[in-house]
Homo-oligomer: A and B are copies of this chain.
Amino acid sequence: MSDLLLDQPPAGASAERSRRGGRAGKRVSGGASFDQPPFRQLHIPYANTRIVSEDELESIHLASLRVLNEIGVDVLHDEARRIMKAHGADVQEGSERVRFDGDMLLELIAHAPSEFTVHARNPAHNLRFGGNNLIFAQMGSAPNCSDLDRGRRSGNQQDFRNFVKLAQVHNIIHATGGYPVEPTDIHPSIRHLECIRDLATLTDKVFHAYSLGRERNVDAIEIARIARGISREQLMNEPSLYSIINTNSPLKLDVPMMEGIIQMSSMGQVIIVTPFTLAGAMAPVTIAGAVVQQNAEALAGIAFTQMVRKGAPVGYGGFTSNVDMKSGAPAFGTPEYIKAQLLGGQLARRYKIPYRTSNVCAANQVDAQAAYESVFSLWGAIQGGANFMLHSAGWLEGGLRCSYEKMMVDIDLLQMVAEFLTPIDLSEDALAIDAIRDVGPGGHFFGTPHTQARYKTAFYSPIISDWRNFETWAEAGSPTALERANRLWKERLAAYEEPAMDPAIREELDAFVAKRTAEGGAPTDF
């Protein structure tokens, strides 16, 4: 499968443009009218960094099993408890507490696939999840957004759509990650219908559905099916939608989570179980303890997907970080965060479950802090063997904000990471002994045939970094990375083109959304 994904021409409307541009080198015309590397499935070719020994890893694993066996989790959903009991979990009548036997859990988890394809409506944008594959998904779930011109504000539909368009336009963004910003101007009862239709039409990439009540999952699954133009049976065998389940840490699985797993897993769609274990707040103050708890919660959720349907595609999500013990505010991109990322990766690999992590920061502005916290997160993600990185682009302010400028900086960072993951050319020609001989001691390589033949594509060409010398840069008004990002997102948004969709499919999709909207959408209490 993954071979199919390599160097495919871009999707739909932009294929023609791509044929004109060709694939001459590292910067070729992509899905829009600017140069960028082509859409491709990334792989991490390097060994993951092991932060603990096998024995130490086992001690964490065993501690998690003790937590699940001796303490257990509270499961607030009656049907879920019945399913768990049917699979041998210790469930007492009249209590929400569920305890698990370790062997039973491991037997269930062994049914989960270690690698699978997630299907997009454009097959060129299909993604491999697991193995050494790496997927970058846009930021999700910010209540606010900001740009340098208009400042910080609550999310609305226009900003939501702008961010989704930026995700479509950039080949390095493999998938959207939920709602990049919450469109608070759409009533919650029908918000999911509007938003998921947008995700399915404004992009042709893999998308996410929130698990916020049964109806929303059912609607999202149907939209994913219609958009791909396939039967329910085909959908069941071809994961085409994913949903993140954040456990209610510590040790609580609530009704919408369990309904989400039941709907998604029974339909063969992807669940990524991600405990939200902030050390010192919802988890122990020690990194080891927080990860023990993360692991216990993840194992419980992952096992439940396999109770619902053996072989259901599922990911192991790690989100452990620390809080500022002075204020309780969450911190990201910290040394503790990187350690938890590496440890989470080792655990996920132990269970052979694809691993999800994030590109996150706590900064309030796209300044040095935002950048170093993000690159530390990328460091932990890549060295930890991430398979899926949510919040890859746009995340600011601990997730409370999606920033247009941060999105552009992140896209540059992601493109740099992709280039870092591309193996070094070690051909005879690249070793360049003849070129070194031709130039000789004291010479210069500018303008030599070896350089001339390669200089246009030899190096990654950044979109944000400014490499001008000080004088030239100062004459240009001393622009910061933030200011360059501000100019760039507007250019990139202007280059957006809606990907083609079969008119019959579009009609079916609109009819479904209209029908569900007329029915009132999903129930709310207001």
Contacts and interface: CB of A to CB of B under 8 A. Distances in A.
A356 interface: no
Interface in A238-283: 248, 250-252, 279-283
Given A454-B285, A482-B368, A70 B375 contact: no
B445 A325 contact: no
B445 A364 contact: no
A54 B485 CA distance: 41
A460 B322 CA distance: 10
Given A280-B451, A446-B281, A478-B364, A416 B335 contact: yes
A322 B440 contact: no
Given A292-B431, A372-B413, A436-B67, A285 B465 contact: no
B441 A73 contact: yes
Given A46-B51, A364-B470, A364-B478, A286 B425 contact: yes
B292 A459 contact: no
Interface stretch (A154-162, A183-191, A303-311, A336-344): A336-344
A71 interface: yes
A23 B328 CA distance: 25
Given A286-B454, A426-B288, A328 B371 contact: no
A420 interface: yes
Contact of A280 (B427, B445, B462): B445
A424 B284 contact: no
A362 interface: yes
Given A289-B435, A336-B459, A424-B339, A46 B56 contact: no
A426 B49 contact: no
B442 A250 contact: yes
**A: contact size bracket:** 35 or more
B364 A366 contact: no
Contact of A50 (B46, B379, B383, B442): B46
Nearest to A452: B285
A20 interface: no
Interface of A: 46-47, 49-52, 56, 59-60, 63, 66-67, 70-74, 97, 152, 248, 250-252, 279-290, 292-293, 296, 322, 324-325, 327-329, 331, 334-336, 338-339, 343, 362-376, 379, 383, 397, 400-401, 409, 413, 416-417, 419-420, 422, 424-427, 429-433, 435-437, 439-446, 450-451, 454-456, 458-460, 462, 464-470, 473-474, 478, 480-482, 485
15 contacts: A67-B437, A70-B433, A284-B445, A286-B429, A288-B424, A288-B426, A288-B431, A292-B431, A292-B432, A339-B424, A365-B478, A365-B480, A368-B368, A368-B485, A369-B371
Given A56-B426, A67-B437, A286-B458, 4 more contacts: A280-B455, A284-B432, A364-B466, A371-B375
